[in-house]
Amino acid sequence: MSDKIRKVEGITKESTEALIAETLSVYPEKAKKKRAPHLGANDPASGSACVKSNKKTVPGVMSARGCAYAGAKGVVWGPIRDMVHVSHGPVGCGWYSWGTRRNMMSGITGVTSFPMQFTSDFQEKDIVYGGDKKLKTLLEEAHELFPLAKGISVLSECPVGLIGDDINSVAKQSAKELDIPIIPCNCEGFRGVSQSLGHHISNDTIRDFIIGTREYAEPESPYDIALIGEYNIGGDAWSTKPLLEECGFNVKSVWTGDGELEKIAATHKVKLNVIHCYRSMNYMCKVMEEKYGIPWVELNFFGPTKIRNSLRQLAELFDDTIKAKVEAVIAKYDPIMQAIVDEYKPRLDGKKVMLLVGGLRPRHTIGAYEDLGMDCVGSGYEFAHTDDYDRTAPEMPDATVVYDDPSEYEFEKFAAALKPDLVGSGIKEKYVFQKMGVPFRQMHSWDYSGPYHGYKGFEVFARDVDMAINSPTWKLVKAPF
Amino acid sequence: MSDKIRKVEGITKESTEALIAETLSVYPEKAKKKRAPHLGANDPASGSACVKSNKKTVPGVMSARGCAYAGAKGVVWGPIRDMVHVSHGPVGCGWYSWGTRRNMMSGITGVTSFPMQFTSDFQEKDIVYGGDKKLKTLLEEAHELFPLAKGISVLSECPVGLIGDDINSVAKQSAKELDIPIIPCNCEGFRGVSQSLGHHISNDTIRDFIIGTREYAEPESPYDIALIGEYNIGGDAWSTKPLLEECGFNVKSVWTGDGELEKIAATHKVKLNVIHCYRSMNYMCKVMEEKYGIPWVELNFFGPTKIRNSLRQLAELFDDTIKAKVEAVIAKYDPIMQAIVDEYKPRLDGKKVMLLVGGLRPRHTIGAYEDLGMDCVGSGYEFAHTDDYDRTAPEMPDATVVYDDPSEYEFEKFAAALKPDLVGSGIKEKYVFQKMGVPFRQMHSWDYSGPYHGYKGFEVFARDVDMAINSPTWKLVKAPF
Amino acid sequence: MSNALGLEVKTIVETPPEEVERVKEWINTDEYKEKNFARQALVINPAHACQPLGAQLAAHGFEGTLPFVHGSQGCASYYRSTLNRHFREPAPAVSDAMTEDGAVFGGQNNLHEGLENAYAIYKPKMIAVFTSCMPEVIGDDLTAFIKNAKQKGFVPKEMPVPYANTPSFSGTHINGYDSMLLSILQNLTEGKQIEGRCTGKLNLIPGCDFNTGDYREYKRILEAFGIPYTVLADISDSFDSPCDGNYHLYAGGTKLDDAADSINCKATIAIGSYSTAKTFGWVKDNFSGKHASLPMPMGIEKTDAFIMKVAELFGKDVPASLKNERGRAVDAITDSHQYIHGKKFAVYGDPDYLMGYVSFLLEVGARPHHILCSRGNKKVEKDLQALLDGSPFGQGCKIYMNKDLWHLRSLLMTDPVDGIIGDSHGKFAARDAKVPLFRFGFPIFDRVNKHRYPLIGYQGAINMMTEICNKFIDIKDDTCEDRLFELMR
Amino acid sequence: MSNALGLEVKTIVETPPEEVERVKEWINTDEYKEKNFARQALVINPAHACQPLGAQLAAHGFEGTLPFVHGSQGCASYYRSTLNRHFREPAPAVSDAMTEDGAVFGGQNNLHEGLENAYAIYKPKMIAVFTSCMPEVIGDDLTAFIKNAKQKGFVPKEMPVPYANTPSFSGTHINGYDSMLLSILQNLTEGKQIEGRCTGKLNLIPGCDFNTGDYREYKRILEAFGIPYTVLADISDSFDSPCDGNYHLYAGGTKLDDAADSINCKATIAIGSYSTAKTFGWVKDNFSGKHASLPMPMGIEKTDAFIMKVAELFGKDVPASLKNERGRAVDAITDSHQYIHGKKFAVYGDPDYLMGYVSFLLEVGARPHHILCSRGNKKVEKDLQALLDGSPFGQGCKIYMNKDLWHLRSLLMTDPVDGIIGDSHGKFAARDAKVPLFRFGFPIFDRVNKHRYPLIGYQGAINMMTEICNKFIDIKDDTCEDRLFELMR
């Protein structure tokens, strides 16, 4: 939570509400009624959501949202490096999500890690006759060609659920025959309202098929933790994991960035779960808390201020050894971070940013921008829930606009009014804003850069933000004739 | 010499002479009179030149010739790798001849070998006040920056001779002061009629300043030879030197391809000089023969037939050990060469080639083409002398056209009449013929390929000739509309 | 031991390094290749996407047209982001966001609400509807739905709302392109045929081509001829629009009036016999004038064929400027043939691109050694084989139909080539095989501005030749010994 | 011991490997750099050629013109082969083959015989004479010689035989270009000024530019404006001619009539204030209409300046097609700026190219860290410094006047950069420094077709940006760890 309520010049509750009303004026009544509760002016003092969320997307309005399959394959499962993840159904879903989320992986491709696209490539006849038999064959082929894969996930696409295939029974039988874990995940894209249900389904699948099936070979220690909701985008986990280790922790598993199935399966043995992306993995933290009594803590690894607070918050849960190490780490990095701030802040101070991202960054990155002197003048999520918006309220300046699953139309209108110096959102929005001459960074994928997490990440983040905003190329946009 | 007199269908003494007359018809009288003796129909039976040569180029006729400097810098001196070769005078001559002859070099550039462009870059004031002082400073700088250079050559460009500089005295003094060989070479471009005088001047300079100034450290052997007139174009020497070594010889020095100054300086200690490019280095062979009693033999390393004959000719000059080794080498390579011929000859048999090259290849390569089933229907030199044409007569088919220093106009006219399937000449001619849709290979520089010498070279040569002639791209030249 | 779920609990054991090493070598062997090619069910790294993606591309090719996905919103996000990444351009499209209810009640409500909103907010001149899996599986009747939508006033009756069934479980993006384009043309030209009228224009259908430079090149060529034309599904301005401070939702596309009038044309040329098969079949029977279906004009010979067909259809001579251009392209090719002669290539991609790559490679003396078609029919195979049979450089080259990029990897590791032509997805196999990937085709996610450089026409031949030859020279320069590093190449 | 010549005889001793190693390291040090920069007399690897080369380029820019070297035939062979290698095209030129006699008797006989033969054999419409060293040192009087030649009937009186003194020991090829061009224009326009006549045309002088694509790009831009023009010294067809089975000695060039009439123009723009300095000075005083000297339009800003000047001179609006083109170029640049932002470059070349490279790099956010001008005056330095001072990205960048590529090597080894822009001669330094060389400018001997891709105009900006950014991505892909190798970039 921020220290005090911040204001941005020119932004008031009234101005924001007028902007929202003006924006919605073009909508048909029904759509307007549906959309209105999802747009609001932030009230940091309240500490609670100013918008409704996690509702069905309004048809026809150009949402940025994905589907349950995207949440399952792209977010939760895809990053587990030593499994074969089968996109079960037609070719497209797997093809579109192949290599596009930037969850980086160690290992040897095709040998010990599998960042490839595996699909059953459904044809007409599979729809008519069902795909279970094909799935069974496919699992055998995968096991034969990739003998070192530690397991296989089967991620259902829409038709699978619609035609009534029983992947669970195929998975169960094949797992027995092939003697490897085969995890069926009923994450058909039509389920739920966004990626979010895909996360939830995947968490439940981990709960039902994975957790507790392995134990670490090495002895336990009081400093055993797991890093949850860290997907190693652009190498984030390669920044945060070493940082936690430098603080004295044993990071026994990462969920699921550069993840290993068996280490994930043994996570019920850790002493604390540290969660970064609350939205996508709070379910399993709660499960592990309830079932194995493992406490969990939600941290923020963006920008020195939030990292410092997070590390201290974490240290509070441990002994003096950890506390001392954490302070040493902070003391080591503070001057390095200050040097970065000193370099970039003069060029970024007072600049305004607008965000529209997934389920974490619309709030978690605000502090990092503020470390560079920037204000967040609007933020929103694709697939957040109320608890996310609750957590967002104190992070945003007073009365700034908050938007849930906004249409591209709404996002453009807000930006046109607020004139941000930078927009941070996804690939679908990127070139829209760049055409307008507005600097932009992809904040799902770090725009092919990264990491942005941890101390190591802040240097990259600051450089990228400076590059985006201060590139002289924007001066070229307006022709002098 | 070839076994028997060969004929090419459609080519007779009459047809060739008519072609020559027709070609010259456009010339003004004086030029026609000058040019006529340089064009002739070959008479292989005579074994002697059918044309005049080594005369001044006719002004205004687009000759392919270079100058004495080119013969000295580009041909003789440039390839010596461990010397700094200074192009003394204005910037251009050195710049144009920098890296364009493809005499490949071992060593570390700027440390132990110097394939760079060193120039005194004459300015107006150097012309007015003379360049001797600049030369002296330059030599000191070169010695300081390149301490491992074994010597420095000073290659005069036109102005140096015209303004009356005395590079010989500067070189002498600096050589003493810096304690390294500094070789002044008065090879101004205006001297003589072509590159050829540059070769001669350079040979004389080697005679006057280099030969006999070093001795090999290792003991003498009866198999010590030197390889003369091998410039390592496209790595030729890296084919011929190992071949001679495989035959049992110690190749003590190579003149001057990938050459080393001190080994060249000790060449008076070898038992035999083996010369490939007769034109450019016969002078020093004769000097070494006269002065040190070293015999010399002229060989041809192009194509298996000529190589075989050459090796046997060489073996004849040595004992049975060598003879046995040579026969073993021939036996080893014959089947390899046959395989190459078997691969390419079916696609090349009966194809016609026309040549215009420097001082060796217009005759030496004919056998290699013939090995591939091709006929040479015209050949000529840029800068040959009568002794070269004498040697050419038996190599060419009967009555084929021979041209000395032809103008591009003549060469084009001959080609238009003879319709060769391949023209082998230089870069200045290459694109002229390619525009006509005639396949072409640069036969000075192996067209950025090579080696072409030795057994290793024949494989490359055959492949390149096939590629040139049988590239399907020539079929694209004529538009179907 | 078992856990709470009754699942066995094991202690974690790391795979021994020597086993990792063994498998690492094994996947490069002939033995592995055989197992790999024996696959019946599993597809790994396919080089094709699904139908709706192509449908969206076609939709973007028309003025003021909003692509509309009837299906889950996640589908639309996938198509859009794919186009965004390839073109580095916006790709505005909406979906009607079907969810579970759709499975029960059908998608009509979503479609209607979606049309109403989309029309109100994005003010399109045409809405091009295409389907993703869900409505295809449940069997939505789009004819009826759209008729009802107009009757109920969700969109104006006069607004064209063509639609295409583009099930993802059949064909690839090229078929979706074909279906959507056909539907749009049928819709726009309905009732527009006028007896006796001839626009005097050429309809050019570039086919499912993701290279904006190609579209501009076609237009440049037709302008050189002085022939009036309508490019049908012209995506060039849609996906290569100026960055000038203004965002235009509909940045380009064929004018709807021109498209409507295209039925009264003097002639129609459809490029890409695989991606415009259905469309051409219908056009041939319904459009006035003459009709021709041609392969993509890649390389000199196929461009000649295109140029001559244009000349023939319009009774014109080939203009001098194009003759010269041809000559300059041939010059660029003859000047550089030695850098590509005899080089072996692996090529993969959509059938129309493949025909172009193979034709080009053969005519410049290279060998399309492995030709891998991710999805194609017998005709594709026959046409490719005919190209191979027509050139000595085609000898020993082999066509692999309906294989994927994991098959390609086995081919590359067991029977190496000098270079690969394909899309960005081949970069992993290229890296393992240590050969360059020439990024032509679609998608190109990891290099900039490639889609701005045409592959078709004489200029396209120069572009391909230049890129390939200079890369081979780069490699020589980068990898040669010091003593072979030289100024000239 | 001494040999027959009285020279000392030594036994050969090989340099010890450790000494070789020491020197190998030493030449990369700051200490070496200082010694290297202290050079007063020795020039190593200069990035400039001599005047006659540029003179020949200018001569090729005119219809039916035979370049004629008054001097040794070896000189002509050097110029020709240099142009052959760069363009991979013929470069027909003759010389009058002066030899020793010339030093004694002067070159008049050679010139006369040469003119007579050249005229008879090669049937030129104009013979453009320029000199190499020898006649310059001995002081041949070309005015008199040529007058005599005409009087004696070696060439027709009416045939233009312009000549230029182009001593190799002064200036560089750009000055030779300037002098020859000036002489040609003076000759052709003599007596052609007609009071009151205005052709309504723009004269465009592209300057000493060895990129044929640039010439075509200028013409395309002017055609987009609909402005009639004469490009003076148009080498585009001369050095980019079709390969169609026929060889044309004179494949291109500005029509002589157009050149003659250029004096009655509406306006003249001379590009490249260094390579057209003399010519522009004379044109300004002698040609009708308005006159402007502009830097090469490389990058967006300099192209804007060119476009606006054209618009201003002709009182026209910038056409929409060029506005869109500009927008697309900016789009290509903004789309890729992240791959070049902050990258350090070493650049070298002729002053006009240098100004273009530096301007382009600064506007896209790169740093022209080392700017090396092989030969240039104070004005060049001042103009470059002004560019640097105008941008935050110019801070810390340094200009090195009258330095060579061996100096450059020291700079690269002691103060590294990310890339180099220059001609093929920089490849050795680039290899030692392990950074890519972007081959723009002249000469390019080791890559194909580069001169066909314009560097000027909006398309040139796209070309430069694309080549540079994609190379940096190539390097990332080629050198990154496996775990950082990914589909998107």
- Containing structural domain, residue B78: 70-192
> B375-381 and B401-404 as β-strands: parallel, antiparallel, unpaired?
parallel
Mean per-residue pLDDT, A373-390: 97
Q: What is the largest CA-CA distance in chain B?
A: 72
Nearest CB to B447: which of C301, C326, C338?
C338
D 47-76 near B (Cβ less than 8 A): 48-50, 52-53, 68, 71-75
Evaluate if residue A326 carries a pLDDT over 50.
yes
Does residue B466 belong to any structural domain of this protein? no
Q: Is it the case that residue B17 has pLDDT exceeding 60?
A: yes
- Which of C318, C341, C364 finishes a domain? C318
Q: Retrieve residue C219's tokens.
A: 């237009």
Interface of D with B in 134-153 (CB under 8 A): 134, 137-138
Determine, yes or no, domain membership for D106. yes
Mutate to test the interface with C, among A34, A67, A436, A438 (most CBs of C within 10 A): A67
Which residues, numbered 328 to 367 in chain C, qualify as contacts with chain B under a Cβ-Cβ cut-off of 8 Å? 330-331, 333-335, 337-338, 341-342, 362-365
Asked whether residue C81 is domain-assigned, the answer is yes
Contact status of C241 with chain A (Cβ, < 8 Å): yes
Which residues of chain D make contact with A434, given a CB cutoff of 8 A? 331, 334-335
| CA atoms within a 13 Å half-sphere pointing along the CA-CB vector of B49 | 18
* Angle, alpha carbons B148-B150-B152 (nearest 5°): 110
Residue C157 lies in a domain: yes
| pLDDT, tens digit, 9 for 90 and up, residues B375-392 | 999 999 999 999 999 999
Q: C304 and C330 in one domain?
A: no
Which two three-digit tokens encode residue A48? 């609670």
Catalytic residue among C43, C137, C318, C330: C137
pLDDT at residue number D2: 63
Print the SS3 string covering chain C: CECCCCCECEECCCCCHHHHHHHHHHCCCHHHHHHHHCCCCCEECCCCCCHHHHHHHHHHCECCEEEEEECCHHHHHHHHHHHHHHHCCCCCCEECCCCHHHHHHCCHHHHHHHHHHHHHHHCCCEEEEEECHHHHHHCCCHHHHHHHHHHCCCCCCCCCCCEECCCCCCCCHHHHHHHHHHHHHHHHHCCCCCCCCCCCCEEEECCCCCCHHHHHHHHHHHHHHCCCEEECCCCCCCCCCCCCCCCCCCCCCECHHHHHHHHHCCEEEEECCCCCHHHHHHHHHHCCCEEEEECCCEHHHHHHHHHHHHHHHHCCCCCHHHHHHHHHHHHHHHHHHHHCCCCEEEEEECHHHHHHHHHHHHHCCCEEEEEEECCCCHHHHHHHHHHHHCCHHHCCCEEEECCCHHHHHHHHHHCCCCEEEECHHHHHHHHHHCCCEEECCCCCCCCCCHHHCCCEHHHHHHHHHHHHHHHHHHHHHHHCCHHHCCCCC
Q: How much is the average pLDDT of A388-402?
A: 96
**Is the pLDDT reported for residue D83 higher than 50?**
yes
- Token code pair at residue C325: 């251009």
For the record, the structure tokens of B362 come out as: 């217009």
Secondary structure letter of residue B38 according to DSSP: G
Q: Do B237 and B313 have their domain in common?
A: yes
Looking at the fold, whether D294 and D346 belong to one and the same domain comes out as no
Mean pLDDT, residues A438-455 taken together: 97
Parallel, antiparallel, or unpaired for β D202-205 and D267-271? parallel
Run of H or E residues at B224 = strand B224-230
Q: Is residue B259 part of a domain?
A: yes
Amino acid at B14: E
Same domain, D114 and D221: no
Q: Which residues contact residue A119 at a Cβ distance below 8 angstroms, ignoring those fewer than 6 apart?
A: A86, A87, A88, A89, A90, A91, A94, A95, C42, C43, C44, C46
Among candidate residues B88, B199, B276, B363, the one labeled active-site is B199
Q: Which of C44, C84, C159, C173 to mutate to test the interface with A (most CBs of A within 10 A)?
A: C44
Which of D263, D288, D318 is the C-terminal boundary of a domain? D318
User: pLDDT digit string (tens) for A220-245?
Assistant: 999 999 999 999 999 999 999 999 99
| Closest chain D residue to B96, measured at CA | D78
Residue ending a domain, choose from C288, C318, C348 = C318
Residue matched to tokens 């993802």: C168
The verdict on C118 and C220 lying in the same domain is no
User: How close is the nearest chain C Cα to the Cα of D320, in Å?
Assistant: 11
Q: Which chains touch D (3 or more CB pairs under 8 A)?
A: A, B, C
Same structural domain, C301 and C341: no
Query: Do B95 and B135 sit in the same domain of this protein?
Result: yes
The answer to whether C403 and C381 have CB atoms below 8 angstroms apart is: no
Residue C280 and residue C392 in one domain: no
CB of C294 closer than 8 Å to CB of C305:
yes
Residues B301 and B245 in one domain: yes
Q: What is the ipTM of this complex?
A: 0.97
Are A134 and A51 in the same domain?
no
Residue A99 and residue D304: Cβ atoms within 8 Å? no
Judge if C206 and C179 occupy the same domain. Answer: no
Q: Which chain B residue is nearest to residue D39, measuring alpha carbons?
A: B141
Closest CA to A277 of A261, A260, A294, A298: A298
Residues C233 and C380 in one domain: no
One-character DSSP codes across A288-314: HHHHH---EEE---SHHHHHHHHHHHH
pLDDT at residue number D104: 87
CB contact under 8 A, D103 and B127: no
Q: How far is CA C21 from CA A82, A109, A112, A141, C326, in A?
A: 16, 12, 10, 21, 52
Neighbours of A, requiring at least 3 CB pairs below 8 Å, are C, D
CB contact at 8 A, A54 and A383: yes
Query: CA-nearest residue of chain C to B101?
Result: C488
Alpha-carbon distance of D308 to B70, in angstroms, equals 48
Whole-number pLDDT of residue C445 = 98
Give the closest residue to D36 by CA, choosing from C481, C432, B110.
B110
CA D250 to chain centre: 21
Number of domains in chain B: 3
- Written as six digits, the tokens of A346 are 């003069």
**Tokens 């005088």 identify what position?**
B197
Task: Tell me which residues of chain C have a pLDDT lower than 70.
Answer: 1-6
Domain membership of residue D237 (yes or no) is: yes
With a pLDDT cut of 70, the percent of chain A lying above it is 99
Picking from D149, A117, A444, B233, the residue whose alpha carbon sits closest to that of residue C46 is: A117
Angle value at C-alpha B382, between B379 and B386, nearest 5 degrees: 75
What mean pLDDT value characterizes chain D? 97
At a CB cut-off of 8 Å and minimum separation 6, what does C2 contact? C8, C9
**DSSP helix/strand/coil, D254:** strand
Which of B146, B170, B192 is at the close of a domain?
B192
Of C323, C365, C483, the CB nearest to B106: C483
Q: Pairing relation of β-strands A214-215 and A352-355?
A: unpaired
Q: Please write the tens of the pLDDT for every residue from B67-116.
A: 999 999 999 999 999 999 999 999 999 999 999 999 999 999 999 999 99
Report the number of distinct structural domains present in chain C.
3
- Same domain, yes or no: C387 and C290: no
Whether A80 and A133 map to the same domain: the answer is yes
The Cα–Cα gap between B120 and B84 comes to 13
Q: What is the pLDDT of residues B444-465, one digit of tens each?
A: 999 999 999 999 999 999 999 9
What is the separation, in whole angstroms, between the first and last Cα of chain C? 69
User: Could you tell me the residue range of the domain that residue C264 belongs to?
Assistant: 202-318
E strands, B123-164, in order: 151-156
Domain end call among A192, A210, A244? A192
Note whether D156 contacts A: Cβ–Cβ < 8 A.
no
Q: Phi-psi region for residue A274, left (φ > 0), alpha (ψ -120 to 50) or beta?
A: beta
Q: How far apart are CA C368 and CA C385, in angstroms?
A: 11
A3 has pLDDT over 70: no
Shared-domain flag, residues D212 and D253: yes
Cβ-nearest to D447 among C324, C473, C485: C473
Size of interface C-D (CB pairs under 8 A): 143
**Does the residue D489 lie in any domain?**
no
Q: Do chains A and B touch (3 or more CB pairs under 8 A)?
A: no
> What is the average per-residue pLDDT within A7-29?
97
pLDDT for res B481: 95
C75, C133, C347, C417: which one is catalytic?
A: C133
- Cβ-Cβ contacts under 8 Å, A434 against chain C: 243
Among A431, A448, A479, the residue with its CB nearest the CB of D489 is A448
Joined together, the tokens standing for residue C264 give 């009264």
Interstrand relation of D367-373 and B214-215 (parallel, antiparallel or unpaired): unpaired
Residue B231 sits in the same domain as residue B323: yes
Q: How far apart are CA B33 and CA B25, in angstroms?
A: 11
- Identity of the residue in D333, D484, D487 whose CB atom sits nearest the CB atom of A473: D333
Q: What is the CATH number of the domain that holds D369?
A: 3.40.50.1980
Q: Tell me what the pLDDT averaged over chain A comes to.
A: 97
B169 HSE (CA, 13 A, CB side): 6
B253 and B362 assigned to the same domain: no
Position B3 in a domain: no
Give the C window 397-426 contacts with A, CB below 8 Å: 406, 409, 425
Residue type, B291: K
pLDDT one-digit tens code per residue, B275-332:
999 999 999 999 999 999 999 999 999 999 999 999 999 999 999 999 999 999 999 9
pLDDT score of B172 more than 70: yes
Residues in chain B: 481
Does the structure show a pLDDT above 80 at A456? yes
User: Is C244 in CB contact (< 8 Å) with chain B?
Assistant: no
C477 inside 8 A of chain D by CB: yes
Instruction: Decide if C50 is catalytic.
Output: no
Q: pLDDT, tens digit, for every residue of A78-95?
A: 999 999 999 999 999 999
Length of chain A: 481
Helix (H) or strand (E) segment spanning residue B275: strand B272-275
Could you check whether the bond before residue A256 is cis, i.e. omega within 30 degrees of 0? yes
Query: Is D6 inside any structural domain?
Result: no
Does residue C385 sit in the same domain as residue C237?
Answer: no
Q: Is C484 on the interface with D (CB under 8 A)?
A: no
Strands C398-401 and C367-373: parallel
Give percent of chain C above pLDDT 70: 99
The answer on B403 and B437 residing in a single domain is yes
Rounded Cα gap, residues D324 and D307, in angstroms = 13
Distance CA C184, CA C259 (A): 9
Report yes or no: C243 at the D interface, CB cutoff 8 Å. yes
Please tell me the predicted confidence (pLDDT) of residue C2: 63
* Partner residue opposite A108 with nearest CB, options C24, C103, C445: C24
C37 in any annotated domain: no
Q: Find residues 176-205 of chain D whose CB sits inside 8 Å of chain A.
A: none
DSSP B359: S
| Contact call for C477 and D326, based on CB within 8 A | no
Choose among D205, D204, D208, D142: nearest CA to D173: D208
Q: Which strand (E) or helix (H) includes residue A226?
A: strand A224-230
The answer, yes or no, to whether residue A356 has pLDDT greater than 60, is yes
- From the list C375, C70, C362, C407, the residue with the least C-alpha distance to C208 is C375
Q: Is residue D5 part of a domain?
A: no
The tokens of C124 are what?
Answer: 């399109």
Distance of CA A403 to the CA centre of its chain: 18
**First vs last Cα of chain D: how many Å apart?**
69
Chains A and D form CB pairs within 8 A to the count of 82
pLDDT the model gives residue C104: 87
**Would you call A100 and C247 a contact, using CB atoms and an 8 Å cutoff?**
no
Partner-chain contact B27 D121, CB within 8 Å: yes
Same-domain status, D392 and D310: no
In terms of domains, do A317 and A297 share one? yes
- Closest CB to D328 among C85, C242, C334: C242
D322: nearest CA partner in chain C: C242
B169 domain-assigned: yes
* CATH code assigned at B93: 3.40.50.1980
